[in-house]
Amino acid sequence: MKAALGIPWIGLAAFVLALGGCGPRGLEPFDPSTNYRVDNTSSGFTLTIDYSRRSFLFEPAAVREACRNAFASVAQATATKRGRKIQPINEQQVDMRLQRNEVSNMTYCTAIGPVAWQ
């Protein structure tokens, strides 16, 4: 009987571990909707952000704009914290991906791109 009880727990543990593998690792909170990670480079840093928004309707343009603004805000805050200035962000170099969970009405955006020092 104990062996039969252990099997569902093994499946649950595997499921939880698989969920933990989703999305970028090592992100810090910036605000309630945004988490981020900064990876230093020789010319500045690479910024990764995860932005999420709950909305009954799927509004990709609005989420994309909010994600773009969050990317710029985190980049500027990071530069200010380090006492540096950044060059204007080239949006063509920022890889932005949207995902939607219709069950929870959540839209997720992940943006990764370079930020260069002035």
Domain ranges across the chain? 24-116
- Regarding predicted confidence, which is higher, 100 or 13? 100
pLDDT attached to residue 62: 95
The per-residue pLDDT for range 54-100, each reduced to its tens digit, is 998 899 999 999 999 999 999 999 999 999 999 999 999 999 999 99
pTM over 0.75: yes
pLDDT attached to residue 2: 47
**Cα–Cα distance between 3 and 11 in angstroms, integer?**
13
pLDDT attached to residue 24: 53
